[in-house]
Amino acid sequence: MNKLSIELSENNVGCYVKTDLKTINDVEIQEIKKLLNKYAVLFFKEQNLSPEEYMRFASQFGQPAKYPMLKPHRDYKDIYVIERKKSDKGLSFGEGAHLDSVYMNNPPRFTFLQAVDVPEEGQGNTLFYNQFLAYEALPNEIKTKIENLKGIFSSKGKIAKTRTLREAEHGTSNTKEIKSEHKLVQTIDGRKAIYSSPGHIVGIANYTSDQNELIEFLSSHQTKKEFSFSFSWKKGDLALWSSASLHAATAFNGDRKMFRITVQ
């Protein structure tokens, strides 16, 4: 039987979980779910799961979600390949803080990302921003202001430009705009978190004051250094996060291939 042990990451943004995901049992899955609700993002080092093992682990957390902006892996329909190529020019895919597919009416609850091919350690990091901590640090007047507001999120938000190369490869460049509205505050296990994606938010529903001012304030606040942690990947690593964590790819030149699964 595995024994879970954890180590908090910098700024308490998430935690490292030491276990063997190849042999994990139902009791440990439930413990991981509790940790996820508490810390928002979990890191599992050097697991080296096969695609089948990876999908089986992810299936313990919900139903696989479709990603409308890319085609899935040709052999594994629940996996989407997220990559950067040495020949790429411009931004990395997902470079900029965001929540995955928040423009959907029923966006994913959890994202899984597995390192398949990564550059040397310290390059191609992923930034994570804990939105429990971000909410707790908000001024009380802002907490009151956003409590019942809904953000308007679009697949054509400013992060869309980071998908251009991969969409061209996949033949999905002409996907129609998808928009949705979601409350700016969510509660997970009694704890509140900001629920807004700086890369996708385009407005605030039924808010007559200066929308841009509030959006810019929230987006800047959400991504403050004290709520952030930069995770350095090694081949076989796996990260798992909830909608209480923003994430962002970072700039680098080189090859990187990741397998992503999102679940609802």
pLDDT digits (tens, 9 = 90+) for 111-164: 999 999 999 888 999 999 999 999 999 999 999 999 999 999 999 999 999 998
The pLDDT score that the predictor gives to residue 2 is 59
Radius of gyration of the chain (CA): 18
Q: CA dihedral in degrees (218, 224, 226, 229; nearest 10)? A: 110
CA angle 263, 48, 132 (to 5 degrees): 45
In whole angstroms, give the CA distance from residue 19 to residue 3: 6
Cβ pair 151, 211 in contact under 8 A: no
pLDDT of residue 147: 97
Domains, the chain: 5-263 (3.60.130.10)
Mean pLDDT of the chain: 95
90 alpha carbon, distance to own chain's centre: 21
pTM > 0.85? yes
Q: What residue has token string 């304030």?
A: 217
- Give tens-digit pLDDT for 160-198: 999 988 888 898 888 899 999 999 999 999 999 999 999
Q: Which residue has the tokens 């949705």?
A: 180
Q: Which amino acid is at 57?
A: F
